[in-house]
Amino acid sequence: MGSHIPRSRKIVEITCPTKGRRGFSLFVGVILGLTAAVVLDLGAMLRLTVRQDGHSQQSSSLYAVPIHPPSREDVQKDSAPYTDGSSSGRHRNAAYELGGVSHQNGGAPNENGRAPNENGGVSDENGRAPNENGGVPDENGRAPNDNGGVPDENGRAPNDNGGAPYGNGDMPSHEDNDTEARRLAKEVRVLVWVMTCPDNHQSKARVVRDTWGQRVNKLVFISSINDSSIPTIAVNVSEGRQHLTAKSQKAWRYVYENHFHDADWFMKADDNTYVIMENLRYFLSGENTSEPVHFGHLFKTIVKQGFYSGGSGYVLSKEALRRWGEKGQDVAKLCRQDGQGEDNAMGQCMERLGVRVANSTDAMGRSRFHCFAPDHHILGNYPKWYLTYDANGATAFRGMAKMSDYSIAFHYISPTQMQVMDFLIYHLTPYGILRGFQQLNRPRNSTTV
């Protein structure tokens, strides 16, 4: 009887010393026999083969991941064809050394473990994958946009006109029509030099550079030290209010000697002045830079013809700067070279050089250059000295109705306020309101005070 018992059952009987349990042993033997048969058949179905290097390789499409993920060395040295005829130079539909499966986009990781992304290309050696525009992000992680260029260091991407968004640093989602602003930017070239100091380089000067300074044709920062991060131009003058006049005179000398031919108009501003360049260019487009004239917010004291506030900025025509520059050493006799009151010192200088002041208000008599932040002018919270100095009648000259829609400049603007103003002017837009152009310039030759 024992000779007719299947091999698997014999093993069971040998391990069971009690004769009275033979029925149970037969039952267990049958179960084990069936299990072994199923295992053998499953192995044959999967056609698993063991390579010499000890890794299992399967050719059945039932499994997406081999039992043992190949190492980087396996990926590089494996060149045998798969059973489906494809080359195994890279593990097709296989997990790689990090334990992951091939990429969902239909390609396996390459020899460096980089898988193709949804745009059909693998990441480069820095892990940067091509985006939908066909190019990989640059070393700063900035990817080309749909206009074919990467954003600049300030995050501004080229728009469909082939350059960074005009001035406001915004993406082109606004679809603003800035044709007129661009035209004036080419036809009315303005240089602005900004008076700053080392303590303000990374706060005020930096924000000026990153906000309204972007819209200036030529922007120059004057300080007492060179700082390439802004950058600034150093003039040999000690810091302090008592030396503002000397700093201003040296700044004008630098501008005259280095940038006289780079602009049509030349403006001085502080590092807490906010300037709306589009409105400045519009105003100046109605004036003649060949005339000896300058503009700003007029004060009526100290100088016979008056002088312009330095804080809200003042603008010299090319002829005005030419007269100042060509006097050379004689200018020291005509113009005070140091001390406080930089703006009235420049006003006296201009008067002696025959450079006249002019009406800088708009056609409706509203102010364009403002000595304070907008809220001061809206509410009329003026200091007493301003009531004495202001040539426009500050007591009655308050409120939004007295401020030009094409206002040009505001003073005493903190870095935070500067960024807020940039947002309110260039980004915030009420839906459904399309504003047309206003003709707010006075007729030429009617700006004489």
Domain boundaries, the chain: 2-46, 186-426
Range scoring the smallest mean pLDDT among 119-133, 164-178, 278-292: 119-133
Would you state the torsion angle of the CA atoms of residues 71, 76, 79, 85, taken in this order, to the nearest 10 degrees? Answer: 70
Residue closest to 129 by CA, chosen among 294, 121, 395, 162: 121
3-state helix, strand, coil in the chain (%, to 5): 35, 10, 55
Choose the most confident range, by mean pLDDT, from 36-50, 122-136, 219-233: 219-233
Confidence at 190, pLDDT banded by 50, 70, 90: very high
Ramachandran quadrant class, 13 (left: phi over 0; alpha: psi -120 to 50; beta: rest): alpha
The whole-number pLDDT of residue 330 equals 74
Task: Note the pLDDT of residue 176.
Answer: 83
Task: Output the DSSP codes for 9-59.
Answer: HHHHHHT---GGGHHHHHHHHHHHHHHHHHHHHHHHHHT-EE-TTS-EE--
Q: Is 430 left (phi over 0), alpha (psi -120 to 50) or beta?
A: beta
More confident residue, 329 or 130: 329
Q: What is the CATH number of domain 186-426?
A: 3.90.550.10
Name the most confidently modeled range: 65-74, 161-170, 282-291, 340-349.
282-291
Mean pLDDT across the chain: 73
Tens digit of pLDDT for each residue in 219-243?
999 999 999 999 999 999 999 999 9
Q: Which has more pLDDT, 330 or 424?
A: 424
Count of other CB atoms within 10 angstroms of residue 417: 17
* Contact (Cβ atoms closer than 8 angstroms) between residue 373 and residue 417: yes
